[in-house]
Structure 1
């Protein structure tokens, strides 16, 4: 067992050789625990909608911890990642891809993850179009690639809006969106759904949580959407805090999340959770290992991109692919010891 743990630690270190290790050393260390905890929220929707969902939970957290809890919103995911990197955000809700950036570059650490009201843990990426569009019913209908369609993709740090469709929809089908569509624009999930409903884009990436929330909050828009592709299950969203917070404060924060909806005002907390996303359940124990599958996905995507790039010679491709295969092999070993 000891040997396995040592081997796993060595592999984890090897995975951070290069860009990740260098990035990890660039985050600004905290100078002790903050007097005020800043809670970051990634921009999946408008700030007003996100405030409605998350501020009640922050208020309860403030009462439990006895510390001021302040919300931090940014126009894109990178804004929250960078704020955590420079110590301006101490805790944040991320998707898996943005959590990888926070862990690798911003001194972050996964400590719990979300779940659904039924206890399930996961959601799906979708490709959507307007229900009135009778000519688009599957991926093959958008792969005519005559640059006649406008495509809405997610934030570059979004798991379901960018990474998952980039790999499963485009990389696996050897399609370059920029060469295929008339326009490709980045926007959050809510904006892409509304743009599809209003025929401002022909096709867009989205996810099951946003569609579910829109059915509750914007049913007329949701009724104008049809799904033409669904991804494999994506792990539920992680909550990440700065790993250099004190052990005591991290324990208090983690205890709040794991106790929320389980102890104290259970009914009140569960009502708050039901108003987040498409109806959230209790928080579940987690750690950085939940990111392994998405790390593998990102590596597979890069591997396919290199393999299909005719501008890279075979001599140059070989070491690049060997490096990716080594990282994939290391991740497979780490995943087996989760």
Structure 2
């Protein structure tokens, strides 16, 4: 797909910055608000510093207030590349002319799941026990925090979330969902999980002690979801193919470097990014249709 990837040129020692590419010298990369914005901004700055060193490009980051704002920023040309959750990619293809470049890999897997979690002491053991209860979603455009679990309830369990739950709220981020469940603000919450057994989910990242982890139970899990993505726009690619090729090469090589891998892991828990195919994201298009989302 990118057979003519440009070689990185280093000056002096291995720590020197790469030579800047001809033409465009600055890019903006959009970050999706999956977690606390202050932490994301700090990790985004470390990403920018590392990426600039490898490519010679000046890199700015844009932390979106929500998923829709990130898609709009792509449409308006305020960001050149973006880390997009799967459903946001599907929406951005339609609304912003997004062009899929890469997908994330974690622990050897290029898929993840959505799980609905509860606090262990609530006496809630299965999804059906949540009838009339309250749930926290992440955001109306969140893949694992809204779109997939809501669609899965409908297609797998024949349960309409709007009629099934007594109250629905949006927490705004995955860490906020976990905290809302732990604090008893809601009965349940929807978030990401890296396996179908619930052994490696968002709560394992945001809760710090074994005692806290024992208080969380997963009562529902979705089918596999293709991992989040890195995308640009068709318009930006047409004008700056060399910059796109250079960016793709640099991000792919981050997974081969201990320092680069650490930057990716701090940013979104990613081990590496690999080439992606738009057909991989058909399940998200089907989920959107199930919910009547155009």
Same fold (TM over 0.5): yes
- Note if 1:196 corresponds to 2:186: no
Rounded to whole Å, the distance in 2 between the matches of 1:219 and 1:166 is 28
Distance 1:34 1:98, change over 3 A: farther
SS in structure 1 of the partner of residue 235 of structure 2 = coil
Is the contact made by 2:55 and 2:247 (CA closer than 8 Å) also made in structure 1? Answer: yes
Distance 1:142 1:214, change over 3 A: closer
Rounded to whole Å, the distance in 2 between the matches of 1:208 and 1:98 is 18
- Aligned partner of 1:239 among 230, 234, 245: 230
More helix by share: 1
Is the contact made by 2:83 and 2:230 (CA closer than 8 Å) also made in structure 1? Answer: yes
- Aligned partner of 1:111 among 90, 95, 101: 101
- Aligned partner of 2:242 among 245, 248, 269: 248
- Note if 1:66 corresponds to 2:56: yes
Residue correspondence of structure 1 range 301-312 to structure 2 within 5 A: 301-302=291-292
> TM-score scaled to structure 2, two decimals?
0.81
Residue correspondence of structure 1 range 1-338 to structure 2 within 5 A: 35-116=25-106, 118-134=107-123, 136-143=124-131, 145=132, 149-187=133-171, 188-208=173-193, 212=201, 214-220=203-209, 221-245=212-236, 246-262=240-256, 266-277=257-268, 279-302=269-292
- Please list every run of 5 or more consecutive structure 1 residues that lacks an aligned counterpart in the other structure: 1-32, 306-323, 325-338
Q: Give me the CA root mean square deviation.
A: 2.3
Rounded to whole Å, the distance in 2 between the matches of 1:138 and 1:269 is 40
Rounded to whole Å, the distance in 2 between the matches of 1:107 and 1:55 is 27
Distance 1:122 1:53, change over 3 A: farther
1:217 offset after TM fit, Å? Answer: 4.6
1:70 offset after TM fit, Å? Answer: 1.0
More strand by share: 2
1:295-338 CA-partner distances (Å, limit 9, x unpaired)? 12322443xx9xxxxxxxxxxxxxxxxxx9xxxxxxxxxxxxxx
Rounded to whole Å, the distance in 1 between the matches of 2:127 and 2:53 is 49
1:189 offset after TM fit, Å? Answer: 1.2
Rounded to whole Å, the distance in 1 between the matches of 2:32 and 2:265 is 19
1:195-233 CA-partner distances (Å, limit 9, x unpaired)? 001100001111115964542453245443211111111
Q: How many residues align?
A: 262
Rounded to whole Å, the distance in 2 between the matches of 1:97 and 1:113 is 13
SS in structure 2 of the partner of residue 228 of structure 1 = strand
Rounded to whole Å, the distance in 1 between the matches of 2:60 and 2:203 is 27
Is the contact made by 2:47 and 2:267 (CA closer than 8 Å) also made in structure 1? Answer: no
